[in-house]
Chain A
């Protein structure tokens, strides 16, 4: 792997689910959960995936870790295609790409002590007992838990502490990539900041790449280097966080940002309230998938799907009318 090889490269990824109906289980359609996504993520970088529920961001996160079988496309981890790997090679790769889940209540085994939850990966990957104990102690310290916490069970911890255990578990085998799927949205406001700061500290210390899935647009602006906006299984805009929030190009991004509540009652609001809801992924609109809710849509948008194009350096958008509607 050269210095320029991204930690993660996703190429033309599609995850389609067939839909069956009736006694003969006839296939009546297909849900295009992820429908042609390209992404690259560098060492030490945070790329956020945002979009409404059902846009495919969590499916994409799972496919990246080879937890979903893609219909098409490639996922390269440090240059190697996960889908082409032999099972034991994939297992080695999985040591270094881990997931932090949304719900720290559901993702920890209630019958295991904190130390055993964190040490499980060491056991699976054959680390000796003495080294194991030493490393568990170090990991708990990294995530801000005290040594005496090691012997407690998940129910004895608060939500924030449980998420810390989840993070310690993810860090156990010195990963290069963490997929964080809504890692703080189940936590109290005053605890979210602690966990976000912890994730940022760890990233700096270990040069980790984060694929950060979130619906909290204010948080994403704070934590992400780049942001990918998804709509119905596709990326509709991809840019640096600064550029995307300052000057969104896609009408969907603009509407999404304007809908996000601003914690300032004096803020001047220019809200673009999107009409209607996300169309069913079973009945995808012809042409641009967003045209049914887009205030700029014209006939051409209803006919042909637009490509994801680079409109400014490093700033991509999937819209026919960017040049007309963003004339600055």
Chain B
């Protein structure tokens, strides 16, 4: 985190509500975080925790029929609050100042156009350049993301490329206009580990090279450990813990984070050591039927009466060194 510089993205009190058959559900329920230039912030959580809804909310891409951003502000790099911008202004930002990479590149690329042409179109949409210059830029971007024979590959259609190559095209498109911010939602989840390693390395390189801020959304704590500087752990629509990556893994404070970290098999800790994995009881909560008080309490091994009474705030722990955590265990009992 750079001390002096302003954050490129500063989200405060973001709340996004989706319609559902069981009534409105708060997929994102008041979250705040900031991303500085040249850092990777990971948002980690399980299905339904609100991590993808957070990305859609920032981009202004929550489908109107499905739900809407209800509260909060999204300050982006001197553009003021993105929520105040109209659709034209937002779509100018998307693809230029804000790059996006999604999980499944095949559904994000147009199957009937050559990939080089699609990148060039993004460039021309946001910059006054000739078609020739845009094409050159596209090839240059493909080279930057490690595409072999970029000039030739630019003439390929998406179906002619492998999954890893398509994801490289998506990344090339996302960074073609030197974005200040890259939002990546599970960009390596559909890829093999060898290709994932290549893509993670690419993200790391781009972060240092372009100085962009990166919001990297994932469910995989291994990937978090590889790529994040700071981490937000989300559960049922809220951030339950926020920390630099080393502190999160060395000293997890929230019982949910502790449970998640304990439940993944670690290298070297084979059968001989532990006969069973640590399992978190219960299941991922249904947002339409959240428990009163702390959202995690019905799965929490350490829940006590205060957890049922009220939801704990996200706050610095009362004792010892630490980082923000949303848990009554770390708040002094009222006198």
A interface residue numbers (CB < 8 A to B): 52-53, 158-161, 188-194, 196-197, 200, 215-219, 221-223, 225, 241-242, 245, 255-256, 258-267, 271, 273-274, 276-277
Contact = CB atoms under 8 A, between A and B. Distances in A.
A197 B277 contact: yes
B249 A264 contact: yes
Contacts of A194: 279-280
A261 B220 contact: yes
A255 B195 CA distance: 11
Contacts of A277: 162, 164-165, 195
19 contacts: A158-B283, A190-B284, A191-B284, A193-B264, A193-B278, A200-B275, A200-B276, A215-B192, A218-B265, A221-B267, A222-B277, A225-B271, A242-B270, A260-B193, A261-B223, A261-B225, A263-B249, A273-B201, A277-B195
Interface in B214-272: 219-226, 228, 245-246, 249-250, 259-261, 263-272
A263 B225 contact: yes
B250 A266 contact: yes
- 9 pairs of A and B residues whose beta carbons are closest in the complex: A261-B222, A222-B265, A259-B197, A193-B277, A193-B263, A193-B279, A190-B280, A188-B46, A52-B192
B194 interface: yes
Nearest to A190: B280
Contact of A261 (B196, B219, B250, B269): B196
Nearest to B281: A194
A254 to B, nearest CB: 12
A262 B223 CA distance: 8
Nearest to B47: A188
A202 B275 CA distance: 13
Interface string B19-46: 0000000000000000000000000001
B246 A266 contact: yes
Nearest to A192: B263
A322 to B, nearest CB: 21
Given A189-B221, A215-B192, A277-B195, A263 B280 contact: no
Which residue, A193, A194, A242, has most C-beta atoms of chain B within 10 A? A193
A190 B256 CA distance: 9
B281 to A, nearest CB: 8
A256 B193 CA distance: 7
Given A158-B284, A193-B278, A266-B246, A221 B270 contact: yes
B249, B265, B272 interface centre (most CB from chain A within 10 Å): B265
Contacts of B269: 222
A261 B193 contact: yes
Contacts of A217: 193
Nearest to B274: A222
A259 B225 contact: no
B194 A255 contact: yes
A263 B266 contact: yes
Contact of B197 (A216, A219, A271): A271
A92 B145 CA distance: 54
A218 B226 CA distance: 15
Q: What interface size band does chain B fall in?
A: 35 or more
Nearest to A276: B148
B245 A265 contact: yes
Nearest to A198: B279
Contacts of B46: 188-190
B122 interface: no
Nearest to A197: B276
B219 A263 contact: no
Contacts of B261: 263
A265 B44 CA distance: 15
Contacts of A265: 225-226, 228, 245-246, 249
Nearest to A216: B265
Contact of B263 (A53, A190, A241, A262): A190
B198 interface: yes
A217 B220 CA distance: 13
A276 B265 CA distance: 29
Contacts of B219: 188-189
Nearest to A277: B162
A264 B266 contact: yes
Q: Which residue, of B219, B246, B283, has the highest number of chain A Cβ atoms within 10 A?
A: B283
Contacts of A258: 197
Interface in B143-189: 148, 162, 164-165
Contacts of A274: 194, 198
A196 B278 CA distance: 10
B271 A222 contact: yes
B283 A191 contact: yes
A260 B246 CA distance: 19
Nearest to B286: A158
A112 B89 CA distance: 50
Given A161-B283, A265-B225, A277-B164, A259 B266 contact: no
B222 A218 contact: yes
Given A188-B219, A261-B193, A276-B148, A219 B265 contact: yes
Contacts of A256: 193-194
B284 A259 contact: no
A190 B259 contact: yes
Contacts of A161: 283
Contacts of A260: 193, 222, 267
Contact of B284 (A188, A196, A264, A273): A188
Given A259-B193, A262-B222, A274-B194, A190 B164 contact: no
A133 to B, nearest CB: 27
A273 B197 contact: yes
A218 B267 contact: yes
A262 B270 contact: no
Nearest to B263: A193
